[in-house]
Structure 1
């Protein structure tokens, strides 16, 4: 296989120590980037280590150390090379080459001088060394492979549990990746992943780390190495507590966590040769899977396309935003106020109808700022500044000096039209008017305004602080200046944006409500709640349909479903059962504020079944129904020009709805299941994009 990327360089320096000479290998990435390990880089490191091993055997040097450059030790395997592998032999070759490096380091008196971030295969190289010392600034330290569809396959699943114990190892390998949690140097020291921490700063760390190496070689320091394999019960317990969760993820199309758990389970009694061979097999299988290619495709979207939105006007057209107004002071409005005041560092004024609502808005702001302080994300001085930037008023004239006003009032078209008409008489001619609507027509909101060209959709998702997506919505009248300003605000707020043309539901809600509508439609036709609840598990969604309906709120879900049926047609079905639940104030889950684990109420069937079929769909039938509906809706989104490229639909579903990376969003999943071709006559993406290349 030919590498597609510039290789990491490996330089060797002889460092004199009191007890002899140390061969120090430094990994340096191309163009100032962290070192990555593609085929050519692996070959270069393998060759350098082989030469160093020969020097150790000859007595020319007493030990070998590996370090990185700048603020990075190594960032692991180069995923761009992985994404184009077309043959099992390529994948197996990379796995085995990594193990050769790991085995060589384990045979030598070897040290890892972890000067900065160490991720994936980079951290595994450090694990392979006999001793590890980290800079106080070294972060993040992590094995994120399972979230990408891989396993730590260069010794991570075998070496880490033996080094730090199975519970700590499984937290790093299984628990942390989906939560995007990593370790600091101190946390790595606390669990025994590194043996020592030295002062940060390039020169200070090098001097301190080399002095520590000299002490270890002299026998003055002997890091502890407890035998974690002796406690079989603890090992079994750590594995057993995660079996159900990884099995559920495997059912949802993500096999990597389960494969990693199996490797860790076997590592207690396996020899190194057996453990490494098992990792080779798992890594080869996973690399040569459509799920991994879909995951890498989605990962690339979130790193590249999300940073440079397609369809956005030139940044130079954006007008400066020095003051922001928000119509409304409810929970969503207060979240927007805190976000924009904190990230844009500008004054934000919320306006509502009376003093009570305005005061409640400020109370919401205060609660958010307090939470930021308690979590350590906001120092006291910064919190005080943030509070001062956000004000609330009942006087519309207080928004007169705003450069941008975002409406976040009740989701009713007439109300929004009225507040925009009132606002236009107050603000200056260059003020951009944005709506945070999730489904209503932005074009209709601008009807009757003197300057409809300054109206744009700026749809943030709830909760605003956590959700990374913004849908930036253009009407036929929206000017380039207003559109560019909206994108600039999204970027300034540290959000990823996609460009949408105005259409009901935009992208995320249009797809999600179509999915929920199909589930509700099946219930009305006699499908049981139990069958519908388990039907979508193979899709691996972040929560089931009934947890999602409760999270959105039954009344809101009904409102959006009715609105999309009114504007897009009967493919968004009526649900008398949902209407009855709303009328009676009922909920879908046992918990009022649900999580993915919340139990679905056992008595829900009594609300549905208004139009029963002789043979209602079972779980498999509901899944096929939903798949076909989603394929149709994605096709219509593209046909209607709501987005220009299916990649924006995938990006929207990953960032706006939390759809799993291993599915690639939505299009790769529909392609992989054959649904795209069955419904539309063609795939959404060419073979080899988000899937294995065809031979």
Structure 2
């Protein structure tokens, strides 16, 4: 695919108080904000030419900014993925350094006016400038390369630690990318010292020009804290390396390479080593996996496969929530924040209703205290939430979501009651994690309006929303579910009505092999660390502690009932669930719990446990695709990345299985 060229457009701007004009370079690929600026070879050449022409004009200062809402989001990954040789990577790495160096080494003051999203090479070009202003309305700032299997290759690994210090640099370059590509908000970036001045979005360019003029005229002095280069620099990196090894077990080469570069940055700017590291990593499977995963999250998640036309979606101006427990309250809060429509919680008694409403109100207050929510919007949200023991409050709701106990008979009873109250057009959505949508709707007069909205816990944080189509679910109900999911900011995946759908089914089969190994006599500690080479975000013991042994046992029972040959019941899983004992004590498996386990006399090695788990995964995914649970392998991968925290460097699950010979 050819490069979408980001052109660097130069103009001279008269700035009050300065005798000379300013040279303003605007990065613009000619497309709207949904197609961000990126740098490929032609874009870099355009910037180089603009910077040269700016110097020739002898301005008061040179400033680089972006088109509306976007500064620049880095290298053109589409063209980057087509590079076939190490020499090509070295060439583009050196080209970026040569162009950006013109800003860093300029005798004329250089500024970056970061007016919008700045990531990767976009943030790096800003770091090469002498000064930076930042819009408080910018979407996000990040150096996400490590999460993709690379390192910041155009100066980020050297310039950032020398600007803000080693601890924030480790956070931005290593920690954030490995936390599902976490971004910095403008205020965080400013407080770190990445930007020198934080400005309001309104009149950002005018304010930036005026501030830059005050700097070059000497009216404003930019003060930066001196970076600590004592032995603490090495100690922080040593600690970070130990934590990485403990968590990833060497599975992410880019993370270790980034730490090595950060160590070098202590005594200067080692750009050549950075380029060589970039070239080494660009030839690894981890990069291809990372690019594939990035594409899934950025493209497929935003255009779900199989979703009906949005034109069919019903307008939702009021939402009913059946249940007022923690999950239901979290769902209600999300609807309040994103849709800003009335939300009514119901439950069996007033005490539960009051507790659910209080949770929502307390969370609103917390967001205000953290300045993540404006007081005006908070007041509006408080006025939109209500609770009742009477479902009559749902009468004029276009959407009712149930989040009650995970028992089919209970859910069927709820829908029978709700159907008598709501209009015949109202959409009924269940948050079931594993039960049949078709069976749930079977006795209703209008089963076609029932759809699954499977949220993941915690609701506000987990991006995945599995949208489940029952056998009789209508296109209107489905389109409404996708429309609502998009407004809620979720990555939506269409799934067939099958036991445990996608994410829970995959995890149940995967983790089932761990419990089978323990049942057969493998020490729990051995089975628990068997998957370490994959670089998963947590071990099975940690995952089970998070979701709760009771939930794990419940899903295991449902899957066993559906597919007894592939999902055997684990006696030890039942023991763990019934014991009430914590699985982990001080990050170690609870010795008291270990004493209660009943194990056989056929232990497996770590390699055997891992091999069995991966074989089981490959088999289950193949069966799911044959059954049409999802449209393609990519949907399984997307579910595992955004719903299960599957690492980017694995590219989802199916590329990893294919690369290691478990899938064709």
Tell me how far 1:144 sits from its aligned partner.
Answer: 2.4
The Cα offsets for residues 506-563 of structure 1, whole Å up to 9 and x where unpaired, read as 0011011111211101100111111112111122222110111121111121111011
The Cα offsets for residues 191-217 of structure 1, whole Å up to 9 and x where unpaired, read as 44344556652452353144135325x
Within 2, Cα distance between the matches of 1:430 and 1:654? 35
Q: Flag the 1:332–1:107 CA change in 2: closer, same or farther, 3 A.
A: closer
Aligned to 2:113: 114
Question: Which of 584, 594, 603 lines up with 1:605 in the alignment?
Answer: 594
* Residues 61 and 111, structure 2, Cα contact 8 Å, conserved in 1: no
Q: Flag the 1:226–1:413 CA change in 2: closer, same or farther, 3 A.
A: closer
Q: Flag the 1:181–1:462 CA change in 2: closer, same or farther, 3 A.
A: closer
Aligned to 1:37: 39
* Residues 328 and 403, structure 2, Cα contact 8 Å, conserved in 1: yes
Match runs of 1:676-691 below 5 Å? 676=663, 682=664
Within 1, Cα distance between the matches of 2:285 and 2:220? 48
* Residues 6 and 30, structure 1, Cα contact 8 Å, conserved in 2: no
Aligned to 1:257: 255
Question: Which of 477, 482, 487 lines up with 2:482 in the alignment?
Answer: 487
Aligned to 1:543: 538
Tell me how far 1:367 sits from its aligned partner.
Answer: 3.0
Question: Which of 616, 620, 634 lines up with 2:621 in the alignment?
Answer: 634
Within 2, Cα distance between the matches of 1:135 and 1:337? 32
Q: What SS does structure 1 have at the residue aligned with 2:304? A: coil
Aligned to 1:211: 213
* Residues 253 and 291, structure 1, Cα contact 8 Å, conserved in 2: no
Show structure 2 runs of 5+ residues with no match.
none
Aligned to 2:390: 395
Tell me how far 1:16 sits from its aligned partner.
Answer: 6.7
Q: Flag the 1:356–1:153 CA change in 2: closer, same or farther, 3 A.
A: same
Tell me how far 1:489 sits from its aligned partner.
Answer: 2.1
Within 1, Cα distance between the matches of 2:474 and 2:224? 66
Q: What SS does structure 1 have at the residue aligned with 2:110? A: strand
* Residues 469 and 497, structure 2, Cα contact 8 Å, conserved in 1: yes
Show structure 1 runs of 5+ residues with no match.
592-597, 677-681, 683-695
The Cα offsets for residues 418-441 of structure 1, whole Å up to 9 and x where unpaired, read as 222233233322222221110111
Aligned to 1:625: 612
Q: What SS does structure 1 have at the residue aligned with 2:589? A: coil
Within 2, Cα distance between the matches of 1:227 and 1:383? 40
Match runs of 1:50-449 below 5 Å? 50=52, 55=56, 64-109=62-107, 110-117=109-116, 118-134=118-134, 140-179=140-179, 182-183=183-184, 187-188=188-189, 190-196=191-197, 201-212=203-214, 214-215=216-217, 223=222, 228=227, 231-248=229-246, 250-251=248-249, 253-270=251-268, 272=269, 275-449=270-444
Q: Flag the 1:609–1:129 CA change in 2: closer, same or farther, 3 A.
A: same
Q: Flag the 1:674–1:489 CA change in 2: closer, same or farther, 3 A.
A: same
Tell me how far 1:48 sits from its aligned partner.
Answer: 3.8
Within 2, Cα distance between the matches of 1:174 and 1:89? 26
Within 2, Cα distance between the matches of 1:367 and 1:188? 28
The Cα offsets for residues 28-84 of structure 1, whole Å up to 9 and x where unpaired, read as 23313443111111122234445556x48xxx5676443333343322211222222
The Cα offsets for residues 101-130 of structure 1, whole Å up to 9 and x where unpaired, read as 233333322402324133221222222233
Within 1, Cα distance between the matches of 2:319 and 2:192? 46
* Residues 576 and 593, structure 2, Cα contact 8 Å, conserved in 1: no
Aligned to 2:652: 665
* Residues 148 and 289, structure 2, Cα contact 8 Å, conserved in 1: no
* Residues 248 and 537, structure 2, Cα contact 8 Å, conserved in 1: no
Residue 512, structure 1, aligned to residue 507, structure 2:
yes
Report the count of equivalent residues. 656
Q: Flag the 1:625–1:514 CA change in 2: closer, same or farther, 3 A.
A: same
Cα RMSD after superposing both structures = 2.6
Within 2, Cα distance between the matches of 1:562 and 1:196? 57
Q: Which moved more, 1:286-295 or 1:359-368?
A: 359-368
Within 1, Cα distance between the matches of 2:23 and 2:383? 56
Tell me how far 1:362 sits from its aligned partner.
Answer: 2.3
Within 1, Cα distance between the matches of 2:445 and 2:367? 41
Tell me how far 1:307 sits from its aligned partner.
Answer: 1.4
Q: What SS does structure 1 have at the residue aligned with 2:608? A: helix
Q: Flag the 1:606–1:468 CA change in 2: closer, same or farther, 3 A.
A: same
Tell me how far 1:134 sits from its aligned partner.
Answer: 4.4
Q: What SS does structure 2 have at the residue aligned with 1:92? A: helix
* Residues 164 and 228, structure 1, Cα contact 8 Å, conserved in 2: yes
Within 1, Cα distance between the matches of 2:562 and 2:279? 48
Q: Flag the 1:227–1:481 CA change in 2: closer, same or farther, 3 A.
A: closer
Tell me how far 1:473 sits from its aligned partner.
Answer: 0.9
